[in-house]
Chains A and B, each alone.
Chain A
Amino acid sequence: NAGVTQTPKFHILKIGQSMTLQCTQDMNHNYMYWYRQDPGMGLKLIYYSVGAGITDKGEVPNGYNVSRSTTEDFPLRLELAAPSQTSVYFCASSKPGQGNQPQHFGDGTRLSIL
């Protein structure tokens, strides 16, 4: 019962470096999502995907890129990391549905950019 798995759990990145946060799910869910959560705040949607080969922007997409080549994987790439991207990143997945399918979340990646 792995569910949604995110790696790494923690990472420190230098300003200007790039990295990819990994997310994989084993529930055969078509829909996948990336959120970020800043201290004391709710989650904000970065990008989402409704299926392999299809991605779309959420509320806060600037500075990030995503790809969806398989149903299982939805990596999030940070290019030219900035201190404002220090945050906790959560990946989620769900079945397709008309608003009546819950999202299942991973445990998060805690990213610090110094």
Chain B
Amino acid sequence: DAKTTQPPSMDCAEGRAANLPCNHSTISGNEYVYWYRQIHSQGPQYIIHGLKNNETNEMASLIITEDRKSSTLILPHATLRDTAVYYCIVRVGGATNKLIFGTGTLLAVQP
């Protein structure tokens, strides 16, 4: 699986959009970009994933650059409850669906 690079921490004001970057310069053509978050050492929560196209769901938007070497997770209106560690993971399309976690980005939403 391709390695990802994320900033260790970020701040965001409540009500503003939070934009979390991720670099995955060695990504291969069949590798998906996944985002999970972990709040207070709870189990990781799935947010969104994509392959080539931008994706949006009720939680967030995922913007993948045209060369697929980086992506951005956007939380459109961050709340205090969005304070968490956010993990960007790239995963090979294969039989096992295994995830390789890095250390993620700690997003602190400030009141």
Kindly report which residue of chain A lies nearest to residue B41, judged by CB atoms. A88
B92 touches A43 (CB 8 A): no
Q: Which of A4, A56, A98, A107 contacts B93 (CB 8 A)?
A: A98
Q: Which of B41, B92, B97 contacts A96 (CB 8 A)?
A: B97
Q: Which of B9-17, B26-34, B72-80 has 4 or more CB atoms under 8 Å from chain A? A: B26-34
Q: Which of A13-21, A44-52, A73-81 has 4 or more CB atoms under 8 Å from chain B? A: A44-52
- Chain B interface residue count, Cβ-Cβ cutoff 8 angstroms: 27
Interface residues in chain A, defined as those with a beta carbon under 8 Å from any beta carbon in chain B: 4, 31, 33, 35, 37, 40-45, 48, 50, 56, 58-59, 88, 90, 92, 94, 96-108
Interface residues in chain B, defined as those with a beta carbon under 8 Å from any beta carbon in chain A: 30-32, 34, 41-46, 49, 51, 87, 91-104
13 more contacts with CB within 8 A, not counting A43-B44, A92-B44, are: A42-B87, A42-B103, A45-B98, A99-B30, A99-B93, A102-B34, A102-B46, A102-B49, A103-B44, A103-B46, A103-B99, A104-B46, A105-B43
